[in-house]
Amino acid sequence: MRWILLFVLMPLSVGIQAQQTRANIVFLLADDLGYNELGSYGQTVIQTPELDRLAAQGMRFTDFYAGNAVCSPARAVLLTGKSAANVAIRGNAGFFGNDRWEGVALDRDEFTLGEMLKGAGYQTAFVGKWHLDNPDDVETWAWGHGFDYAVQEQWSARFGGREFPPQRLWVNGDQEFVPYDYRQYDGKDHFRTDFAIEFLDAMDRERPFFLFMSYRAPHSFEGPLRDTDLYADRGWPEIERVHAAKITLLDRQVGRLLNKLEEMGVLDNTLVLFTSDNGAHFAAGGHDLEFFDSNGALRGGKRDLYEGGVRVPLIAYWPGRVEAGTTTGHISAFQDLMPTFADIAGVETPEQTDGISILPLLLGEEQREHEVLNWEIQLSGWFQTLPDGGFRQSARMGEWKAVRYGVDSPTELYNLDQDISESSDVADDHPELVQRMNRLFESARTETPGFPYGGVVQHHLSQDRYQAE
């Protein structure tokens, strides 16, 4: 590669010997991958051999949840450890009056996973989709939030966003960018994995590292693929062939990265986690989530607070620490990753988090459980009308799941142990539980600018205000 890897080796906060014994962390995040789109989760058509192998050698979570049902708020939960109803970002855009919808950046003062691990002496790298920034404020980029090495895309016109081709990846802020035509690669994630490998080659082998790979597949806005042969013999509509191909090509890049870690001799001391930022995407005229049974028995998909929008795969692999071939039904979510990583790094869990460390579970020890998980989302009015203000809430309490689309709408109640598809509303049979859930919807949250409680009813803006999600 013709660019130079630039990241600062920070002063050590603990001794070298202690640092060498702490596990590395590799976090792999797919974009809009459905619960049933991996072979290890039930997919029978799309091929994912590398991730299936990872699941067979590690732990598979059946009841793991994304931070939210769409990109920005889900990632905000992940980076801050705050729940969907407490984090500042509750949708891909907030409403600020006068028909003005805007993307909301992660505040430059917000404390993140990157800053926590960097302060613990880890070398930190972020590669891929950030989706939490103000394009004109680098302090809100990954580079400004604790990542020594940060490579990310930008959609703003100032940065050449949404040009096909070329596209650009920005390296360590806005002073250096790398233009590329992704059609010369096996998808965007091929090119991005090149950056991850360069980071691994240049880092200090005597110190632990945190690598956050934020992939782009199988998100819908990708354009054509270089590989026109993959699944070409199936007779599928082209949009479905491309969808399946993106997942298989992503799987290959995961395998490529794991092979690199193994060649370096660091894989045995590395926790690898793979998950998705929300449930499977679908849209009129686009990919049909039923074509490959992308969410299996789960109801809904991206933007829904039914299970199909927020329940996602999680695979945990850690040789010699996580028992191979295990499956857990432990109920956990994105906010649990910050305290988990804090435990692994040997630092105090930040007070801000609503999560519970799952390190005991990974190590086969007694695990504390959540009493409740809750979500709220504000749909944007960039390109759609918003019935009931586009405001949605849900909560899970043990086997019970409550869903409310609009604060004036009745609360639905489902028993997930008996009805994972959320097809039979039993709210009338459990009025006291419904009241409890409603109180939780109203009280277990904080106010945040741009996302008023209950949403903004029936706002509609024209297509030219659309921004990629």
Tell me: the pLDDT tens digits for 437-465?
A: 999 999 999 999 999 999 975 544 433 33
Nearest residue to 306 (alpha-carbon basis) of 31, 73, 28, 35: 35
Q: What residues are paired with 102 via a beta bridge?
A: 94
395 or 95: whose pLDDT is higher?
395
430 is catalytic: no
Where do the DSSP E strands lie in 7-76? 24-30, 59-65
69-78 average pLDDT score: 98
One of 131, 219, 281, 287 is an active-site residue; which one?
Answer: 131
Instruction: Annotate 197-241 with DSSP letters as a single string.
Output: HHHHHHS-TTS-EEEEEE--TT-STT---S--STTGGG---HHHH
Nearest residue to 469 (alpha-carbon basis) of 340, 377, 362: 377
Q: Per CATH, the architecture of 374-465 is what? A: 2-Layer Sandwich (3.30)
71 is catalytic: yes
Q: Looking at the domain that runs over 17-370, which CATH code has it been given?
A: 3.40.720.10
358-381 average pLDDT score: 97
Q: Which tokens hold the place of 226? A: 């270089």
pLDDT band at 5 (very low <50, low <70, confident <90, very high): very low
**What does the pLDDT look like over 239-298, one tens digit per residue?**
999 999 999 999 999 999 999 999 999 999 999 999 999 999 987 668 899 999 999 999
Q: What is the pLDDT of residue 459?
A: 45
Q: What residues are paired with 101 via a beta bridge?
A: 95
pTM of the model as a whole: 0.93
Angle CA(146)–CA(448)–CA(170) in degrees, nearest 5?
30
Question: Which residues lie closer than 8 Å to 235 by C-beta, 6 or more apart?
Answer: none
Nearest residue to 405 (alpha-carbon basis) of 331, 294, 285, 300: 300
Q: Which residue has the tokens 């432990």?
A: 330
Question: Which residues lie closer than 8 Å to 248 by C-beta, 6 or more apart?
Answer: 46, 47, 48, 230, 231
400-412 average pLDDT score: 97
Q: Which residue has the tokens 């732990």?
A: 59
* Domain edges within the chain: 17-370, 374-465
CATH topology identical between 17-370 and 374-465 = no
235, with CB counted inside 10 A (0-12, 13-18, 19+), is: exposed
Whether the pLDDT of residue 383 is over 50: the answer is yes
Q: Which tokens hold the place of 455? A: 């949403």
